[in-house]
Amino acid sequence: MLLAIDIGNSNVVLGVFDGERLRESWRIGTKASITSDEYAMIIKDLFGFAGIEFKQIDGVIVSSVVPPLLPIMSEMSQKYFKLEPLVVTSEIRTGITFKYDNPREIGADRIVNAAAAYKLFGGPLIIVDFGTATTFCAVTKSGEYLGGAITPGVKISAEALYQRAAKLPRVELVRPRTIIGRDTISAMQAGILYGYAGLVDGIVERMKQELGADAKVVATGGLAELVAPETKTIAEVRPDLTLQGLRLLYEGNN
């Protein structure tokens, strides 16, 4: 079995693959202050609920956009699974080529998503990842990673509105009944959701002008299933794209 670990700014997403099948997945809060032993205990508890034992894991792959956590997870893998993890960088075999000024600057999550989506759908391709930041990645028909755009994530935008406007409350991110809010909460929900959908469509349409009008748009990330239905441009939602990408990268490098 393969343990795939995606370390994001807000969450660590874990997945266990039995061959190509994603047997279990979990999402836990990102905490840079805890130790490799503490992460191992959390994983042990999660494994216990799923009936999985440490000794069943014969491969580990890690992608991370939180530098302090990478050595912690590597130590955890070595100590508890007796395995050297494969760490995602632009230098491993990905199936795509990088036309980025400095490929080492590309976030590991963007590499994984681009490699996975290109493997699944081919190109040209735009991948939208709704994470702490929302990232847009462009891949050509021939598998060249060109770059993209990065915007504040939906939750960051909503939290900034709450923190900087004294009379506005913190709201749940859900679809309101109408675009015209009849109270403060529904007005905020409408502005956040539909405003963000418009932002996505605007960036995607501009990227298509450079990449090609036939570019397929694939969305992933925690809020993809909320925002994507309100857009005109997103054609496919794959919530587990990053985990599936980690599996594909592991297989391609072993």
Domain ranges of the chain: 2-87, 97-246
pLDDT tens digit sequence for 187-225: 989 999 999 999 999 999 999 999 999 999 999 998 999
Has 45 been annotated as catalytic? no
User: pTM for the complete prediction?
Assistant: 0.89
Distances (CA, A) of 160 to 80, 104, 141, 164, 191: 40, 30, 38, 6, 13
pLDDT higher than 90, residue 161: no
Domain 2-87 has CATH 3.30.450.20: no
> Could you tell me whether strands 59-64 and 2-7 are parallel, antiparallel, or unpaired per DSSP bridges?
parallel
Token readout for 99 is: 């036309």
Q: What is the pLDDT of residue 132?
A: 87
Residue 162 has pLDDT above 80, yes or no: no
CA dihedral (149, 199, 113, 153) in degrees, to 10, reads: 90
Beta-strand pair 144-152/133-139: antiparallel
Radius of gyration of the chain, Cα coordinates, nearest whole angstrom: 19
Class of the domain covering 97-246:
alpha beta
DSSP state of 71: H
Question: Cα(222)–Cα(163) distance, rounded to whole angstroms?
Answer: 22
Question: What is the model's pLDDT at position 172?
Answer: 83
How confident is the model over 87-142, as pLDDT tens digits? 999 999 999 999 988 988 999 999 999 999 999 999 999 999 998 899 999 999 99
Question: CA dist 59 to 94, 170, 173, Å?
Answer: 17, 41, 37
Average pLDDT, the chain: 93
208, amino acid identity: K
Rounded Cα gap, residues 243 and 3, in angstroms:
10
Contact 47, 54 (CB under 8 A): yes
* 2-87 and 97-246 share one fold: yes
Catalytic residue among 45, 101, 109, 240: 109
Spatial contact of 188 and 168, defined as CB atoms under 8 Å apart: yes
Confidence class for position 158, pLDDT limits 50, 70, 90: confident
What's residue 222's pLDDT?
86
Q: What residues contact 251, with CB distance under 8 A and at least 6 apart?
A: none
Which residue type does 160 have? Answer: A
Which amino acid, residue 243?
L
CA distance 138 to 125: 6
Cα Dmax for the chain? 58
* CA 137 – CA 223 distance, rounded (Å): 17
3-state secondary structure of 91: coil
